[in-house]
Structure 1
Amino acid sequence: MNGRFAGGLLAMLLASGAAQAAAVDLRSPDGRVTARFEMVPGRGVSYALRYAGETVIAPSPAGLLFTTGPDAAPAPAAGLRLLGSEHREGRDRYRPAHGKVAAVDHGYDEAVLHLAAADGRRIDLVARAYDAGFAFRFLLPAGGPGGFVGGEETRFAFPADYACTGLNLGRFENSHEGEFDDVAASHIHAHSLYDAPLVCRTGTATFALAESDIEGFPGAYFSGRADGGLGVETRLTPAPGAAEPAIATGAAAVRTPWRVVMLADRPERLIESTLIDDLATPARFAADAEWIKPGKASWDWWSGPMVPKPGFDTATYRRFIDLAAALHLPYTLIDEGWAKGAGGGGRVRPDSDITQTAPGIDMPGLVAYARARGVGLWLWANWKAMDRQMAEALPLYARWGIKGIKVDFMDRQDQGIVDFYHKLLGAAAAQHLMVDLHGAFAPRGLERTYPNFMTQEGVMGAEYNKWTRRITAHHNVSLAYTRGLLGPMDYTPGGFRNVTPAAFEPRVVGPEVMTTRAQQLALYVVYLSPFACLSDAPSAYLDSAGKPFPGVDFLMKVPTSWDETRGIAGAFGHYVAVARRSGKAWYVGAITDETARRISIPTDFLGGGRWTVRQWSDGATPEALGVTTTTITAGTPIPAALAGSGGTALIFEPAS
Structure 2
Amino acid sequence: MNRVLLYFVYILFSLKGVFAQEKFSSPNGKTTINVSLKDNISFNIISENQIVINNIKTLLNLDNQKLGYKPKLRKKKTQEKREIVKVPFPLKNEKILDYYNEVELTFDDYAIQIRVYDRAVAYRFITSFEKEITITDEELEITFPKETLAYFPKEDSLYSHFERSYLKTKIDTLKNTDFCSMPVLMKKKNGLNILISDADVYDYPMLFFKGTSSNSLQAKFPKVVLATQPHPDATDRIAYITKEANYIAKTNGKRSFPWRFFYFSQKDADLITQDMVYLLSRSQEIKDVSWIQPGKVAWDWYNANNVYDVNFKAGLNTATYKYYIDFASKYDLEYIILDEGWSKSTTNITAFNPEINVKELINYGKKKNVGIVLWCLWEPLNRNMETILKTYHDWGAKGIKVDFMQRADQEMVNFYSNLAKKAAEQQLIIDFHGGFKPAGLRRAYPNVLTYEGVRGAENNKWGNFLTPDHNVTLPFIRMAVGPMDYTPGAMENRQPENHYISFNRPASIGTRAHQVAMYIVYESALQMLCDSPSSYLKDQKTVEFISQIPVTWDETIVLDAKIENKVAIARRKNDTWYLGIMGNQNEQEITIDLSFLSEGSYNAKIFRDGINANTFAEDYEVTTQAVSQDKRLTIQLAKGGGWAAILQPIK
Would you call these one fold, judging by a TM-score over 0.5?
A: yes
Q: Is the 8 A contact 2:605 2:623 kept in 1?
A: yes
The amino acid across from 1:462 in the alignment is A
Aligned to 1:424: 419
| Alpha carbons 1:505, 1:512 under 8 Å: kept | yes
Distance in structure 2 (CA, Å) of the matches to 1:46 and 1:627: 56
| Contact 1:267 1:481 survives alignment (8 Å) | yes
Residue equivalent to 2:4: none
Q: Determine the structure 1 residue equivalent to 2:104.
A: 112
Which one of the candidate residues 125, 128, 150 is aligned to 1:164? 150
The whole-number CA distance in structure 1 between the counterparts of 2:484 and 2:377 is 19
Which of 385, 389, 395 is the matching residue for 1:400? 395
Pair 14,106 (structure 1): closer, same or farther in 2 beyond 3 Å: farther
Tell which deviates more after alignment, 211-220 or 507-516. 507-516
Partner in structure 1 of residue 55 of structure 2: 59
Corresponding residue of 1:636: 631
Show the counterpart of 1:149. 135
Quote how far apart the aligned CAs of 1:86 are: 0.6
- The 3 A distance-change label for structure 1 pair 15 and 281 is farther
**1:580 maps to which residue?**
571
Aligned residue runs from structure 1 range 476-491, under 5 A? 476-491=471-486
1:528-567 equivalences under 5 Å are 528-543=523-538, 548-567=539-558
Question: CA-to-partner distance for each residue in 1:189-232, whole Å, 9 max, x for gaps?
Answer: 2222211111122224212000000001110101124xx43121
Q: CA deviation at 1:561?
A: 0.8
Deviation string 1:264-309 (CA, Å, 9 cap, x unpaired) is: 23112210111110000011112x6211111001111110131251
Return closer, same or farther for 1:82/1:296 CA change in 2, 3 Å cut-off: same
The structural deviation recorded for 1:512 is 1.2
Tell me the equivalent position of 2:280: 279
Whole-angstrom CA distance in 2 between matches of 1:188 and 1:312 = 46
Query: Of 163, 170, 178, which aligns to 1:177?
Result: 163
The question of whether the paired residues in 1 share the 8 Å contact of 2:583 and 2:640 is answered with: yes
Contact 1:20 1:38 in 2 (8 A): no
- Code of the residue aligned with 2:254 in structure 1: it is A
Q: Is the 8 A contact 1:123 1:139 kept in 2?
A: yes
**For the Cα contact (< 8 Å) 1:603–1:635, is it kept in 2?**
yes
Name the amino acid aligned to 1:50. I
Task: Report the residue type matching 2:316 in the other structure.
Answer: F
Of 382-391 and 76-85, deviating more is 76-85
Do residues 220 (structure 1) and 207 (structure 2) align?
yes
* 1:322 maps onto 2:342 in alignment: no
Q: Are the aligned partners of 1:608 and 1:635 in contact in 2 as well (CA < 8 Å)? A: no
Structure 1 residues 319-367: Cα deviation after superposition (integer angstroms, max 9, x where no partner): 111110111111111101111112xxxxxxxxx3111111122111111
Which residue in the other structure is 2:258 paired with?
Answer: 257
CA distance in 2, matches of 1:214, 1:559: 29
Q: What is the letter of the counterpart of residue 59 of structure 2?
A: G
Q: Give 2:244's match in structure 1, choosing from 232, 242, 245.
A: 242
User: 1:28 Cα deviation (Å)?
Assistant: 2.2
> What letter corresponds to residue 104 of structure 2 in structure 1?
V
**Match for 1:319: what amino acid?**
Y
Counterpart contact for 1:444–1:486, Cα < 8 Å: yes
SS at match of 2:244: coil
- Output one character per residue of 1:418-472: Cα deviation in whole Å (capped at 9) or x when no partner: 0101110000000000000001111111110111000010011100111111111
2:240 aligned partner? none
Q: Which runs of 5+ in 2 are unaligned?
A: 1-9, 226-242
Deviations 1:24-61 (A, max 9, x none): 33322233332221212xx2111111222211111331
1:132/1:603 Cα in 2 relative to 1: closer, same or farther (>3 Å)?
Answer: farther
Task: Give the secondary-structure state (helix, strand or coil) at the position aligned to 1:502.
Answer: helix
SS at match of 1:412: coil
Report the CA distance between 1:94 and its aligned residue. Answer: 2.5
Q: Aligned-pair RMSD on alpha carbons? A: 2.0
Check the 8 A contact 1:295/1:531 in 2, yes or no.
yes
Displacement of 1:244 in angstroms is 4.7
Once the two structures are TM-superposed, the CA of residue 316 in structure 1 deviates from its matched residue by: 1.3
Paired residues of 2:583 and 2:642 also in contact (CA < 8 A): yes
Deviation string for 1:144-189 (max 9, x for gaps)?
Answer: 6x65221122222102221221201032110101201211111122
In structure 2, the CA distance between the partners of 1:416 and 1:184, relative to structure 1 (3 Å rule), is same
SS at match of 1:164: strand
Counterpart position of 1:207: 194
8 A contact 1:180–1:482 mirrored in 2: no
CA distance in 1: counterparts of 2:29 and 2:15, whole angstroms = 31
> Counterpart amino acid of 2:24?
L
The match for 2:125 is 138
Counterpart CA distance in 2 for 1:147 and 1:386 is 29
Q: Give the CA deviation at 1:66.
A: 2.5
Q: Secondary structure at the match of 2:116?
A: strand
Partner of 1:341: 345
2:295 equivalent in structure 1: 295
Give the TM-score, by structure 1 length. 0.90
Residues 496-521 of structure 1, C-alpha deviation per residue, up to 9 Å, x if partnerless? Answer: 11121111111122211111110001
The yes-or-no answer on 1:30 pairing with 2:5 is no
Contact 2:59 2:66 in 1 (8 A): no
Q: Which residue of 1 aligns with 2:43?
A: 47
Distance 1:247 1:297 in 2: 37
* Conserved? CA contact 1:355–1:392, under 8 Å: no
Query: 1:132, 1:273 within 8 Å by CA — same for their partners in 2?
Result: no
Write the letter of the residue equivalent to 1:555: I
Partner in structure 1 of residue 217 of structure 2: 232
Change (3 A) 1:20 1:562: same
1:77 CA displacement: 5.3
Deviation at 1:550, TM superposition (A): 2.7
| Contact kept in structure 1, 2:133 and 2:253, CA below 8 Å | no
Structure 1 unmatched runs, 5+: 1-11, 69-73, 117-121, 343-351
Q: Deviations over 1:107-148 (max 9, x none)?
A: 1110001123xxxxx22100101234110000111316x652
Alignment of 1:610-625 (within 5 A): 610-619=601-610, 620=612, 621-625=616-620
Tell me the equivalent position of 1:461.
456
Shift of 1:14: 5.3
Runs ≥4 in structure 1, deviation > 6 angstroms? none
Question: TM-score, normalised to structure 2's length?
Answer: 0.91
Describe the SS at the equivalent of 1:357. coil
SS in 2 for 1:648: strand
| Aligned pairs for 1:96-107 within 5 A | 96-98=87-89, 99-107=91-99
- State the 1:75 CA deviation: 5.5
Q: Is the 8 A contact 1:224 1:232 kept in 2?
A: yes
Structure 2: how far apart are the matches of 1:207 and 1:585? 33
Worse-matched range after superposition: 129-138 or 369-378 = 129-138
> Alignment identity in percent?
31
Supply the distance in 2 between the matched residues of 1:184 and 1:368 (Cα, whole angstroms): 56
Number of the residue aligned with 2:593: 602
1:110 match: secondary structure:
strand
**In 2, Cα distance between the equivalents of 1:167 and 1:200?**
11
Counterpart-to-counterpart distance in 2, 1:317 and 1:196:
37
Question: Could you tell me how far apart the structure 1 residues matched to 2:529 and 2:13 are?
Answer: 62
SS at 1:424's partner residue? helix
Amino acid at match of 2:123: F
In structure 2, the CA distance between the partners of 1:580 and 1:30, relative to structure 1 (3 Å rule), is: farther
Q: Equivalents in 2 of 1:189, 1:101: separation in Å? A: 39
Equivalent position amino acid for 1:237 in 2: P
Distance change (3 Å), C-alpha of 1:636 and 1:424: same
What whole-Å deviation, never above 9, does each CA across 1:569-594 have from its counterpart, x for those lacking one? 12221111122111111111111111
CA distance in 2: counterparts of 1:525 and 1:629, whole angstroms: 18
Aligned residues: 615
- CA distance in 1 between counterparts of 2:83 and 2:177 reads 37
